Structure 1
Amino acid sequence: MRADDTDCFICAAGHCPPELIPWYDRPLIHEPEVGTVIGAVGALVPGYVIVAPIMHTRSIRDLPKGKRSELLRLLDAVRSRIERHYGPATIFEHGSCRELEGRRPACVAHSHVHVVPGKYGLAQTAPQFTAFDSLEGMLAAADSGRGLSYLMFQEPGEPVHFAADPGVSQFFRRHIAAALGEADAWDYAAVPRWDNIRETQRTLAGQSAECSH
């Protein structure tokens, strides 16, 4: 498979040889049959990555349970690695969004969890979040809603929070950008932050990223 054989950049990152993938989408960590980790375009801070399953599915909730447990193990390992370099990190997912494939201003329809160094007060973004002790507990409780769009986040030292999708594109990124004092930087398509991606690649992959894009 070549990177231009699919409209899904996450599938391309998980299946194509690195030399056929744009530099910014090349996996930092890759576990065949489990998942892949890439630097997030629009990285609001260095160390911002996304963790995605190899299986093309619309949310981690929609993964088969065996694949889900494998991905959660990878997510835990990635979060720990990010935190060793960048300090405590927040995770979030906009699951089962209803956009077409590809990287678009609204959503990407291949399941992926954001790992973002820092804490941003996301519990204040909406009143309807339900708290769970663990991500596993949230997923088990939400199994009956497979296929429905939702929001999930966990900040350092806090429970996992879950809510129905309010229909706002890049919901959490808007709030994180505002918390950083950069309210206009929320849209990754408009503000890709190549410098932060390169910093993450240098730190996690131990090598310099390519400079062309």
Structure 2
Amino acid sequence: MATVLSTKKLALNQKELLLNSGIGLVEYDAISIIFHALNFKTKKIENAIFTSKNALKSICKEEIAIENCFCVGEKTSAFARSCGMNVKESANNAKELALKITEQHSNKEFHFFSGNKRRDELPEILKENNINYKETQVYKTELNTKRFHSDFDGILFFSPSGVQSFTVDNILNTSAFCIGETTANEALKHTENVIVASKPSIENVITKVVSKFKNEKNTSGYDQK
């Protein structure tokens, strides 16, 4: 039986997708999220940019009224809507969202809520195109390093920070299943065996895992044990 390591603790229904397919699972949280204490003088923002669900969670706790959201990822967009926010634009990655903003909303002012490990593509594109924006760091990502003494048939990664955390004490010498291209690019620093989800969601990462090991089982003609 194939066994994989998830660098994020999964929800019960997500675990069942793997276990019901005959795939063993070990899981841990490779990173920790620490929210900053915020003290906003304004309680209303017209256009807010969120490239992660964690940034959005931080603002929702502050009860700041957001008129329009510009989000990266389906989960972030869905969470924004569940908080009663209007999602004006969404994209699969930060670069794609930045290009949408520059092409369709260049006359607007924005507030970008970010973490300490955010990538540079979005702010650089906004600066290059003279988009008026302000940035506030609302959370910090810390690495939870852990050494594993077992071998796995695959590792599930959901952020570049997760890759960085795992590779502090471990060698990435197996299949790396990644939620998106930025995570994949980090994994490629350690292995060429990288598989990227068709869409950036946990479920799509799991689908890639199930597909790979199901195909290997069918090809070999026997269950791996």
TM-score (normalised: structure 2): 0.23
Considering Cα pairs closer than 8 Å and 6+ residues apart, tell me whether 1 or 2 has the greater RCO: 1
| Structure with max Cα Rg | 2
Q: What TM-score do the two structures reach when normalised by structure 1?
A: 0.24
